[in-house]
Amino acid sequence: MLGAIAGDVVGSPYEFEPIKTTEFPLFGPGSAFTDDTVLTCAVAEVLLGGGDYAAAFRRWGRRYPDVSWGGRFRQWLSDDRAGPYGSFGNGSAMRVGPVGWARDTVEEVLAEAERSARPTHDHPEGIKGAQATALAVFLARTGAEKGVIREEIARRFGYDVWRSVDSVRPAYRFDETCQCTVPEALIAFFDSTGFEHAVRLAVSLGGDSDTLACITGGVAEAFYGGVPAAIAEATLARLTPEMQGVVERFEGEFARLDR
C-alpha cells in the first residue's frame, strides 16, 4: 500500500495546479498526504482486523477533517445515518489498493473491492473503478506481465487502455470520475519503466494528480517489487504515527510478491 500513498504525496502539490511534464521535484514543502491516503489507511485497517468499511471511513475521515474531501463525501462523513449516494467519483479507486494485496483470488479481489466501494460509490462505474484498480494490483503482484494485465482490464471492464500517455496528455484535463481517471492511471503504469517513472507519468497527465499517481503508484509498487528506499523514506516522514503504524502492520501481514 505504500506505493499508493507515495503517489498521493508526490502528486499532492499538483492536484489543483496541474502540470504537463515529468520534470518536477518529487517532494517539496507542499508535498503532503491527502484524502487518498486517509482512506487507503481505512481500507487497510479493515483488511487487517475486519469490521465495517463505512464505520472505518467515518472514523478515519473525522480524524482528518482538513484534507481535500469532496463535498458529497464530506456530507456523508458527518451523518452516521447516510447511505451510499450513487457516486462514480474516483474516490472508490483511490482507496482500494490494499485489497489487491490482501485477497488471494480474482474472485475474492473483485468481491472485496466492491464491498469497499459500496458504502459511498454504489454506482456501477464507481464499483468498476475500484475493481479494476484492485485487480491490476493483484495481477501485478502475482506475476502477470503488462500485456496480460492490459488485456484483462480491457476485457473485464471495457476501459480503453490501449492508448499511450503521450496521446492522452495534450487534451486531458482535471476529472474526478472513475471512468476518466482509472484507465489513464493504468496507462501511466503500462508506459512506465520503473516506480518513479510511473508516478511521474501519472502526474504529467495534468489531471487529478494525487489520485492518478495514487492509483498508478499502487500498481507500480506491486509490479516493480516495492517502492525505492528514498521515496519510501520521504513518504513515511510525511505521515502521522497512526498512518505509519497501519502501513507497517499491513506490510508485515500482506506484503508478499508472487512474481
Quote the pLDDT of residue 4: 98
Nearest by Cα to 83 from 48, 122, 109: 122
The answer as to whether 32 is a domain residue is yes
The answer as to whether 77 is a domain residue is yes
pLDDT digits (tens, 9 = 90+) for 126-159: 999 999 999 999 999 999 999 999 999 999 999 9
Three-class SS state of 4 = helix
Distance between CA atoms of residues 23 and 175, nearest Å: 22
Q: What is the band of 213 on the pLDDT scale with cuts at 50, 70, 90?
A: very high
Overall pTM > 0.85? yes
In the chain, the percentage of residues whose pLDDT exceeds 90 is 93
The answer as to whether 221 is a domain residue is yes
Three-class SS state of 177 = strand
The answer as to whether 259 is a domain residue is no
Whether 1 and 218 have beta carbons less than 8 Å apart is answered as yes
Q: Name the residue range of residue 12's domain.
A: 2-254
The chain-wide mean pLDDT, for the chain, equals: 96
Quote the pLDDT of residue 71: 85
- Could you tell me the three cell numbers for 150? 492490459
Q: What is the band of 255 on the pLDDT scale with cuts at 50, 70, 90?
A: confident
Q: What is the band of 258 on the pLDDT scale with cuts at 50, 70, 90?
A: low
In CATH, what number is assigned to the domain containing residue 211?
A: 1.10.4080.10
